[in-house]
């Protein structure tokens, strides 16, 4: 059973470009969480999704950031018009059903905005 997959592992974007980060949950997991780890800071919750539903996006910046988890395919975290402050490690985690199960983390995507 493959773990949580994230790609790309490293992504470099120029200011103003779009970044698309992908997360494939573990097989059988229908719940996905995205977290951001800014340089020298701790992890912060961004968004919680189930298939085709955003359950909680209270940690998402109001502008330029969006997330989806379609019926088929990976979850996508999309950052439009990236700025230097978006440079961070973005982790996704998945769990089998609801929030009361252990979360399994992916390896993360390191976004660098130049």
Which residues contact other proteins (rule: CB under 8 A)?
33, 35, 42-45, 48, 55-56, 58-59, 89, 91, 93, 99-105, 107-108, 110
**By C-beta, is 66 or 105 nearer to other proteins?**
105
CB neighbours (10 Å) of residue 99? 11
Q: What's the min distance (Å) between Cβ of 102 and other proteins?
A: 4
Nearest CB to other proteins, comparing residues 39 and 72: 39
- Count CB-CB contacts under 10 A for residue 6: 21
Least separation in angstroms between CB 81 and other proteins? 26
Q: Closest separation between CB of residue 90 and other proteins, Å?
A: 11
**Smaller CB distance to other proteins: residue 40 or 63?**
40
**Structural contact between residues 43 and 37, judged by C-beta atoms closer than 8 angstroms:** yes
Rg over CA atoms, the chain:
13
**Cα–Cα separations (whole angstroms), residue 31 to 34, 39, 111:** 10, 26, 23
Nearer to other proteins, 74 or 108 (CB): 108
């Amino acid at each position: 059973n493959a773990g949580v997959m994230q790609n790309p592992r490293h992504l470099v974007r120029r200011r103003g470009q779009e970044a698309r980060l992908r997360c494939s949950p573990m097989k059988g997991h229908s719940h996905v969480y995205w977290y951001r780890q800014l340089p020298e800071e701790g992890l912060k919750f961004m968004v919680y999704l189930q298939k085709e539903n955003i359950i909680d996006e209270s940690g998402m910046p109001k502008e330029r950031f969006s997330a989806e988890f379609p019926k088929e395919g990976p979850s996508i975290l999309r950052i439009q018009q990236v700025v230097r402050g978006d440079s961070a490690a973005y982790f996704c985690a998945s769990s089998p059903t609801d929030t009361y199960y252990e979360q399994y983390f992916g390896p993360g995507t390191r976004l660098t905005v130049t």
